[in-house]
Chain A
Amino acid sequence: MFNWEFLLDPLAFFFLALIVTIALPVLLYSFGYLAGKYSRRKIMVGQLLALAFVGSMLLVVSVRSALTFLVCWEVMTLLSYFLVMFEKESEKSIKAATIYIVMSHVGAAFIAAGIFLIHHYTGSFDLLAWHSAVLPAGSRDLLFFFFLIGFGIKAGIVPLHLWLPYAHPQAPSHISALMSGVMIKVAIYGLLRFVFFVLGIQALWWGGIVILLACLTCLVGIIYALIDNDLKTVLAYSSIENIGVIMLGLGAAMVFIPLGQPVLASLALVAALYHLINHAAFKSLLFLGAGSVYRSAGTKNLEKLGGLINKLPWTSAFFLIGALAIAALPPLNGFISEWLTLQVLFLGALTAPAGLKVILALCAAVLALTGGLTAACMVRAFGLTFLARPRSAKAEQAKEAPLTMLLGMGWLVLLIIGLSLGAVPIVGLLAKVAASAAGVPIPSFAFNQYILRLPGADLSPPLVMLALVAAFGLVIAATFLFFGRSRRVVVPTWDCGYYQLTPRQEYSATGFSKPFRIAFGFFLRPSRSTQTTKDSHYHVRSLVYEARTAKVFKEFFYLPFVGGLFQTAKGMKRFQAGSIQIYLSYILVVVLLLLLFIGRF
């Protein structure tokens, strides 16, 4: 039943290693981040909570009993709830934390239902025993849905993502990094452990559903990331998008296993796991960078930032590397996992029947569109935060972050470079993890030491890095060789011959995302209102312009649902009149009903 035995297979080791690798630099960063901002007592409590949070995640991915798993899962949720509430004076924190805890518990209920259902059939809580257990076919489908919803809420799969853009930005930045970088990956562990490892993939349509949800998650996540003006909310939405990319790999594996393509399934899982560690590395880095910006400029609003590249040179350089990596640009790690995912879809299409070929091609197109939109999103996030001129007085006075914060971020930058250069050995290791999770064979493609050799194409990440650096060096060298040193003149920015430009005349974050708001208008439903105050018929004194977009899932799905709940509760009030006689008669009726039906059970 409830015990502290551990299940340390490659899958568990992979997640243990991931959590530790990301948590160490993040905790290092947190010393500098918290210092001076809060009282010593509060810092102490915060650090202990963060440590316990990391500990709970370590337990979740390594315990052997499903019941212990459930308890640790709950502890992890509660600890992160307290951490989201860290700035408990703020109204926004309380709202975010409440949405988070309510949705997490709906998810936990589904997971618990699934676990107890399996216990009902097998009579034990041992995950290893469950692996070989035979479950009735009909209950498998039900269990799949339970686990998909339960872990999907934690992972932030659309349409279950609602809590994520509230909770992640509201927590202190190192906690956001842990939540986005690590905690939502623990939900992926749950899916791997309970769906791949315990249930086993048998039905093709499971994969179909996952792929569909993954494509939806990618697009919805990145579209919202593109239009939001809060730097940390942008990153949170981008986490949703990346979960979509990971789920696309998992979904592809779930399609290939029933189709009898275990080698491809293994490759798909490798792509998903690779993207999982990559995202953990660069998203933590970006959240830490955003925290550094928030700490020194006092705002996360893109419209009020700008010009920080000269004031925070290290933070901006680190953030740029994170942005390049997440935008899937070679030679960094994000590109390699995206390339692998695209190759998996392509290799699947190569052998699939005609209809599936087109579907997989469309999935690849969705992935490419997501990649393009991510690049746009990151140009916007980096450009508006760090480039041009400061658009507020606070941003003007921003100062570089303290050493511990820079060290934490630098560590993650090194990790990203390592993940880019070491692609080939990493793919080999991940194949073993995939084998332990889903029982698929380790692909026998001839893995050269430096080249990823797939049947249709090769990629050599170190060679790509070398080629790019060489080409870059060549251009610089050739230019200076032929034309000597450059003679530079500093001039004002071109102002069309009018007056001195002010920072208000720069391109704004809202302006940058305008084309996207219009192109995706069918989904975002943008609306705007203007209020003008006039001195006279000719002279406008002030003008208020407001542009809004609809949060489709909240307005058309959650709000009606919550409204319905409240309506039902109001209806129930009629039964609760407060008279003790009525309550006693309720009890009598229930007892009578029970006596009538007891024979049935």
Chain B
Amino acid sequence: MEIVVQLLLLLAVAPLISGVVAKVKNNLRLRRGPGIFQPYFNLVKLFHKDECFSEHSSWLMKLTPYVVLGATLAAAALLPLLGNGALAQYAGDFILLIFVLSLGRFFLALAGLDPASAFGGLGSSREMFFASFLEPIILLAVFAVALVAGGTGFLKIAAGGLGVPAILAAGALFLATLAETSRLPVDNQETHLELTMIHEAMVLEYSGRSLALLELASYLKQAIFFSLVLLVAWPPLVSQVGWFLLSLLALAVIVAFTEVSLAKMRLFRVVDFLFFAGILALLAVISAALGV
């Protein structure tokens, strides 16, 4: 029951986060921009539309949206939010969550290659490129908090407190979140420019209901990563509904400020950005090892 509540809450809030980020960004640029509920309208509109599939695509492309959203939902169910640990207690730990999200990404990258378009392959290649560097960064951050907490299980991590390793790891996770949720300076959600797009290039051939499912999955993934940053930084933030929603919104505003103040990086400069995140995660491990 707790899991159902948690999933419904995350599903309900997830699009709002994107709406808030977009609104704050627009206001910072002195534009009015669409309302914070625009993502919901988009979803409803897309769900009711016809779907177009490329004549060259196969069953894999039609299956992928369901797999991606399914995997993201399963990952969301693992989170120990609001003191809920039903699934986290038996099924798996932080590492499992990261790999379940990778499952969705694997299918999405394949779906990018499926319709025989150069854009999709470009997106898949870049997505897998960044993903392979993100995996060790996230794992090092997890390693650091787990060293303090005594295990990678969510219940152990959720029982942790504030500390230097936690802050450093949360910082590394925050940078990883920017990359995972296709935010500046890694990717740009607002553009369809061939030279820069990554996530948008992979889903370029999708439309209608499939696109809606994929969009919903990315909103949900964003919510998961935000929750993970909060969880790692200070677990009490995610144990109560009010504080959880408030800190999610606060994080959304921070992301909006970061995005507005940064320019898109060249593809291969992103490696340096990820390297920085990796160093931060390594510092977290070192501080955890030294017991700082």
> Are A329 and B70 CB-contacts (below 8 A) given A479-B209, A491-B53?
no
| B115 beta carbon closer than 8 Å to chain A | yes
| B242 beta carbon closer than 8 Å to chain A | no
Q: Is the CB of B124 within 8 A of A472?
A: no
> Are A346 and B129 CB-contacts (below 8 A) given A335-B99, A463-B91?
no
Q: List B residues 43-87 near A (Cβ within 8 Å).
A: 47-48, 50-60, 66-67, 69-71, 73-74, 77, 87
Encoded as 1 (CB less than 8 Å from any A CB) or 0, chain B from 140 to 160 comes to 100110110011110010000
Q: List B residues 88-118 near A (Cβ within 8 Å).
A: 89-96, 99-100, 102-103, 105-106, 109-110, 113-118
B114 CB to nearest A CB, Å:
5
Q: Is the CB of B117 within 8 A of A487?
A: no
Q: List A residues 315-352 near B (Cβ within 8 Å).
A: 320, 324, 327-330, 335, 338-339, 342-343, 346, 349-350
Closest to B119 in A: A494
Q: Indicate which residue in A354, A369, A507 contacts B132 across the interface (CB closer than 8 Å).
A: A369
Closest to B140 in A: A365
Q: List A residues 514-528 near B (Cβ within 8 Å).
A: 514-516, 518-519
Q: Is the CB of B285 within 8 A of A361?
A: yes
| B120 beta carbon closer than 8 Å to chain A | yes
The complex places the Cα of A501 from the Cα of B144 at a distance, in Å, of 49
| B122 beta carbon closer than 8 Å to chain A | yes
When distances are taken between beta carbons in the complex, the residues of chain B under 8 Å from A295 are none
What count of chain A residues pass the 8 Å CB interface test?
Answer: 88
A563 CB to nearest B CB, Å:
36
Q: Is the CB of A507 within 8 A of B122?
A: yes
Q: Is the CB of B116 within 8 A of A389?
A: yes
Q: List B residues 256-292 near A (Cβ within 8 Å).
A: 267-268, 271, 278, 282, 285-286, 288-291
A473 CB to nearest B CB, Å:
8
| A263 beta carbon closer than 8 Å to chain B | no
When distances are taken between beta carbons in the complex, the residues of chain B under 8 Å from A451 are 90
> Are A475 and B213 CB-contacts (below 8 A) given A339-B96, A358-B285, A493-B116?
yes
Segment of A65-73, A104-112, A377-385, A427-435 in the binding face: A377-385
| B36 beta carbon closer than 8 Å to chain A | no
Q: Is the CB of A482 within 8 A of B47?
A: yes
When distances are taken between beta carbons in the complex, the residues of chain A under 8 Å from B109 are 379, 383
When distances are taken between beta carbons in the complex, the residues of chain B under 8 Å from A457 are 92-95, 151-153, 156
A528 CB to nearest B CB, Å:
16
Interface of A is mostly: helix
When distances are taken between beta carbons in the complex, the residues of chain A under 8 Å from B132 are 369, 372-373, 375-376
When distances are taken between beta carbons in the complex, the residues of chain A under 8 Å from B151 are 454-457
Tier of interface size on chain B = 35 or more
Q: Indicate which residue in A362, A372, A383 contacts B133 across the interface (CB closer than 8 Å).
A: A372
The complex places the Cα of A346 from the Cα of B146 at a distance, in Å, of 8
| A399 beta carbon closer than 8 Å to chain B | no
A527 CB to nearest B CB, Å:
17
> Are A505 and B118 CB-contacts (below 8 A) given A329-B103, A471-B70?
yes
A461 CB to nearest B CB, Å:
9
When distances are taken between beta carbons in the complex, the residues of chain A under 8 Å from B122 are 507, 511
When distances are taken between beta carbons in the complex, the residues of chain A under 8 Å from B74 are 464, 467-468, 470-471
When distances are taken between beta carbons in the complex, the residues of chain B under 8 Å from A101 are none
| A368 beta carbon closer than 8 Å to chain B | yes
Q: Is the CB of A387 within 8 A of B60?
A: yes
| B128 beta carbon closer than 8 Å to chain A | yes
Q: Is the CB of B117 within 8 A of A372?
A: no
When distances are taken between beta carbons in the complex, the residues of chain A under 8 Å from B285 are 357-358, 361
| A202 beta carbon closer than 8 Å to chain B | no
| A541 beta carbon closer than 8 Å to chain B | no
Closest to A462 in B: B91
Among B53, B57, B136, B290, the one with the most A-chain Cβ atoms within 10 Å of its Cβ is: B136
Q: Is the CB of B152 within 8 A of A507?
A: no
| A570 beta carbon closer than 8 Å to chain B | no
Closest to B288 in A: A357
Closest to B54 in A: A493
- Using a CB–CB cutoff of 8 Å, the interface residues on chain B facing chain A are 47-48, 50-60, 66-67, 69-71, 73-74, 77, 87, 89-96, 99-100, 102-103, 105-106, 109-110, 113-122, 124-126, 128-129, 131-136, 138-140, 143-144, 146-147, 150-153, 156, 204-205, 208-209, 213, 267-268, 271, 278, 282, 285-286, 288-291
Q: Supply 17 A–B pairs (Cβ within 8 Å), ascending by A.
A: A329-B103, A346-B146, A365-B139, A369-B132, A372-B131, A379-B109, A387-B114, A471-B73, A473-B70, A479-B209, A489-B50, A493-B57, A493-B205, A506-B116, A506-B121, A508-B121, A511-B125
Besides A389-B116, A506-B118, A515-B268, 14 other A-B contacts (C-beta < 8 A): A307-B116, A309-B60, A327-B106, A361-B282, A375-B102, A457-B151, A471-B70, A471-B77, A488-B53, A493-B117, A494-B117, A514-B125, A516-B129, A519-B271
9 interchain residue pairs of minimum CB distance: A507-B121, A456-B151, A372-B132, A472-B70, A376-B128, A383-B113, A372-B135, A357-B289, A457-B93
